[in-house]
Amino acid sequence: MSSWRPGCSIEVLRKRAELLHQVRLFFRERGVLEVETPSISRYPTIDLHLESLTVELGVNAQTRYLISSPEYHMKRLLCADSGSIFQVCKAFRQDEMGQRHNPEFTMLEWYRVDWDHWGLMAETEALLQELLGCEKADRLSYTDAFLNYSHQDPFRLTTSSFRKCCEDNALSPPDYLIKAGGAKDERLNFLMGVLIEPNLGLERPVFIYDYPASQANLSRINQKNKLLSERFELFFRGMELGNGFHELADADEQASRFEKENRLRAEGGKTPLPVDRDFLDGLASGLPDCAGIAIGFDRIVMLALDKTSISEVTPFLWDRA
Amino acid sequence: MYDTSEFRKGLRVEIDGQPYLMVENQFVKPGKGQAFNRVKLKGLLSGNVIDRTYKSGEKVEKADINEQSMQFLYEADGTYHFMDNETYEQVEMTKDQIADNWKWLLEEMAVEVLIYKGQPVSITVPNFTVLEITFCEPGMKGDTATSANKPATVSTGAIVYVPLFVNQNEKIKIDTRTGEYVERAKS
């Protein structure tokens, strides 16, 4: 049969290469250093909802992990005074497969030293305009996004208002979310994914900022309002493109967030993961004030070429790999 | 059991004791949150379409259901008899199970019989069939332009609307999915 053939045309690959070239030029002109960090790491990303693929190098060798993002390594470079850096690399995630997902995908990640997340949003906007020829981006708070598209205040969501919202919008949430005592962030993530995201950035890109502190991940907590984090996400045409942080620099807080993730993993029946000591030691020695963002490059290509599926912009997707 | 990572269109699953066909599967991963599979499922017995959302890693039962090619033998006293082409085993179905398909069933016709937990539950007939008109009002020669139709009874007893120029004893091709006349069959 023809399964040896690429799943997308060579013309698509030409355009893809052109976009990649533009990305490199963009950062070169801005004095951001391109770096390469490992794909195979001694430590996995510690996240309740991310599963790293493992690599076995030998019978007695310690299990290693394919990176789900280059974040820990890039931050170790920042701690070593690299200054602003960017990277285009492959990232890997177990069980993520669908119209917009492939277990192996291309990530564009960069960090700006002495910048906060607002500055980084502006630069991301400039990059998008250059790559996609789109308008300037909107900026909408997480709360307003919820109020606009689900008529729910995310900070006041209750079991009954969640149920009602699902009913009103003909959503069919899994049982564990409907039960009383269901985790609030799980409900918010569900509404974000199925109800709100499809409405975001239909005309022009939009940054959603002020994520709840409970979803801070690796971002700082807002010092004026401790309910909020300095995390943002980027959406365009109903699709999530990227996630950015004003980066958490406090090693102790980072360590306790890892502990919390591992505790939640254990509660959810998942294996707790080994903590990356080198990353924490790097933070302890001093991460400069910086903001960083990771963008799914395949999705940029999809938008640039008006394609709706990652299979249309990737020569050898999972099935053909 | 099927894991969410095995979900795809065409999968046959069992939920609350009912077999369903997966007609849509959408993977959703909100930012840093839990991943979900949103699926649309069509009831293989009821025909109803339902929506379900599964957390990644959840499992659903496989449905013990499959299709078998069979030949329609005959109908007697409201019972329809079919024969498996390979095993020559015969199965019986009621008129209710046959539903509207009785309109197109001809002896020796090849059909697909859906077997659920060892029992036949429904059939699918070929998309097109050719039947003879056993009765209709006389045709109007030359009238091929108007779009008017007239009822015609075909050999199975079903009524099909045909153009005015079609005559009794002629054979016509019918789309069994819509029950509509397609064209006069070349004889």
Answer yes or no: do B118 and B135 share one domain. Answer: no
Answer yes or no: do B34 and B48 share one domain. Answer: yes
Closest chain A C-alpha to B9 CA, distance in angstroms: 12
The whole-angstrom separation of Cα B116 and Cα A141 is: 51
Chain B residues with CB under 8 Å of A48 CB are 34
Answer yes or no: do B18 and B39 share one domain. Answer: yes
B39 touches chain A (CB under 8 A): no
**Residue at a domain's end among B37, B62, B87:** B62
ipTM, two decimals: 0.87
Supply the pTM of this predicted model: 0.83
How many domains is chain B built from?
3
- Average pLDDT score over chain B: 90
B173 touches chain A (CB under 8 A): no
What pLDDT score was predicted for residue B141? 64
Q: Which residue of A has its CA nearest to B29?
A: A193
A84 confidence band (pLDDT: 50, 70, 90): very high
Q: Does the pLDDT of residue B144 top 80, yes or no?
A: no
Tell me whether residues B27 and A176 touch, CB distance under 8 A: no
B48 touches chain A (CB under 8 A): no
In this structure, are residues A90 and A314 in contact, taking their beta carbons and an 8 Å threshold?
Answer: no
User: Which of A138-152, B61-75, B168-182: highest mean pLDDT?
Assistant: A138-152
CATH number of the domain where residue B102 is located: 2.40.50.140
Answer yes or no: do B111 and B140 share one domain. Answer: no
Per CATH, the architecture of A10-137+204-312 is what?
2-Layer Sandwich (3.30)
| pLDDT over 90, % of chain A | 94
DSSP states of A136-169: PPEEEEHHHHHHHHH---GGG--HHHHHHHHHHT
Chain B residues with CB under 8 Å of A98 CB are 25-29
Which of A49, A99, A172 is nearest residue B51 as measured by Cβ atoms?
A172
A-contacting residues in B 50-79 (Cβ below 8 Å) = 50-58
- Average pLDDT score over chain A: 96
Q: Does the pLDDT of residue B142 top 90, yes or no?
A: no
B140 confidence band (pLDDT: 50, 70, 90): low
Average pLDDT over residues A148-171: 95
Which tens digits make up the pLDDT trace of A201-236?
999 999 999 999 999 999 999 999 999 999 999 999
Average pLDDT over residues B83-93: 92
With 0-12 / 13-18 / 19 or more C-beta atoms within 10 angstroms meaning exposed / middle / buried, residue B167 is middle
Tell me whether residues B32 and A49 touch, CB distance under 8 A: yes
What pLDDT score was predicted for residue B145? 61
Tell me whether residues B31 and A170 touch, CB distance under 8 A: no
Q: How far are the Cα atoms of A19, A36, A129, A282, A285 from residue A249, in angstroms, in the given order? A: 32, 22, 30, 10, 10
Domain ranges of chain A: 10-137+204-312
Range of the domain at B88: 65-124
List, as own/partner pairs, every contact residues B53-57 make where C-beta atoms lie below 8 angstroms and the sequence separation is at least 24, other chains included.
B53/A171, B53/A172, B53/A173, B53/A174, B53/A190, B53/A194, B54/A174, B54/B4, B54/B7, B55/A174, B55/A176, B55/B4, B56/A95, B56/B4, B56/B5, B57/A95, B57/B3, B57/B4, B57/B5
A215 touches chain B (CB under 8 A): yes
What pLDDT score was predicted for residue B85? 85
Position B113, amino acid: V
Better-scored residue on pLDDT, B170 or A180: B170
Answer yes or no: do B41 and B53 share one domain. Answer: yes
CATH number of the domain where residue B58 is located: 2.30.30.30
Average pLDDT over residues A271-277: 95
| pLDDT over 90, % of chain B | 71
Tell me whether residues B32 and A243 touch, CB distance under 8 A: yes
